Amino acid sequence: MLEGKKKGMTDREIIKGELKRRIFEDYSGDGEKDAIAQGTCAGLMWFIDSMPKTPKKRLRVLVACEESQTVCKAFRELGHEAYSCDIEDCSGGHPEWHLKQDVLPLLKIEWDLIIAHPPCTYMSKAGARWMYPKAGELSQERFRKSQEAKEFFLKFYNLDCKHVAIENPVPLKVVGLPKPTQKIQPYEFGEPYSKATLLWLKGLPNLVATNVLDNHVPWMPSNTGGFSRGQGGSRGIAHDQRTASKTFEGIAKAMAEQWSNYILEVEK
């Protein structure tokens, strides 16, 4: 039986102290055996310190509308019980952590944290040329689809959950999304790209930049039609929807570390 926990001591410190006591009880009194005890003790202390650290509490995290599992895996690496959810198969290599289904029924379950990446195709500012096929002319079909997407977005925004984060690109004003909490860029988190990303946060702090890079290139194409007219623009890196909606590992790591630490601190 381990001795009672002293104030301020971690479980590892208690285990290490108890092992030292038991080892030296067995060997103390003989010089040669004391040397063996010291070597044995040092080896065990190194082994305990090298063991992966697990959080004091495992958070239950749902990452909605994520097939890449980038955010899910970032939380899993910290020892949390995280699941990705999407109507598509996952591409992150861990189907055992992926819930392939409609996410709405899962929102009725109690989670410590929900992070959502709702579809943005019909809401994003990047789709302005389709929303306005001619100057001043609004595509009614496109606008209708944007309002359906907005309704889905608001399912997460109005969730009865203490800690919620919604991630999306900059939307068109005509869509009418609520004002975001924060704007971030991949190059603020060690990724050499620019791609304005908005966060709507509830019960969570703003993400703090971890590694700001001075040199970066656009992730998304911009003003591609301008090339034929001799104007400026960027061909970007992403040329398909899946690549365009990529969550960067640097951002995912910051989410996992900063938000899990915050929640665990708040709920002590």
Instruction: Give CA separation, 71 vs 67, 203, 222, 247, in Å.
Output: 10, 18, 27, 7
Sign of the C-alpha dihedral computed for residues 237, 238, 244 and 246 taken in this order: negative
Beta strand 98-100 pairing with 81-86: parallel
Same-domain status, 46 and 64: no
Same-domain status, 25 and 97: no
Instruction: Give CA separation, 217 vs 70, 167, 212, in Å.
Output: 21, 21, 13
Residue of 99, 97, 100, 66 whose CA lies nearest to 82: 97
Q: Which domain holds residue 42?
A: 11-50
Specify if 55 maps to a domain.
Answer: no
Same-domain status, 36 and 102: no
171 touches 120 (CB < 8 A) = yes
238 touches 244 (CB < 8 A) = yes
Same-domain status, 46 and 75: no
Specify if 44 maps to a domain.
Answer: yes
Cβ neighbours around 257 below 10 Å, total: 17
What pLDDT is attached to residue 142?
96
CATH of the domain at 97: 3.40.50
Specify if 4 maps to a domain.
Answer: no
Question: Over 80: is that where the pLDDT of 2 sits?
Answer: no
Q: How many structural domains are present in the chain?
A: 2
Same-domain status, 36 and 138: no
Write the pLDDT tens digit of every residue in 245-260.
678 999 999 999 999 9
Same-domain status, 213 and 152: yes
Mean pLDDT, residues 138-153 taken together:
97
162 touches 204 (CB < 8 A) = no
pTM value > 0.75: no
Write the pLDDT tens digit of every residue in 68-112.
999 999 999 999 999 999 999 999 999 999 999 999 999 999 999
Same-domain status, 23 and 117: no
What distance in Å separates the CA atoms of residue 73 and residue 248, rounded to the nearest whole number?
A: 12
Beta strand 197-202 pairing with 182-184: antiparallel
Same-domain status, 35 and 164: no
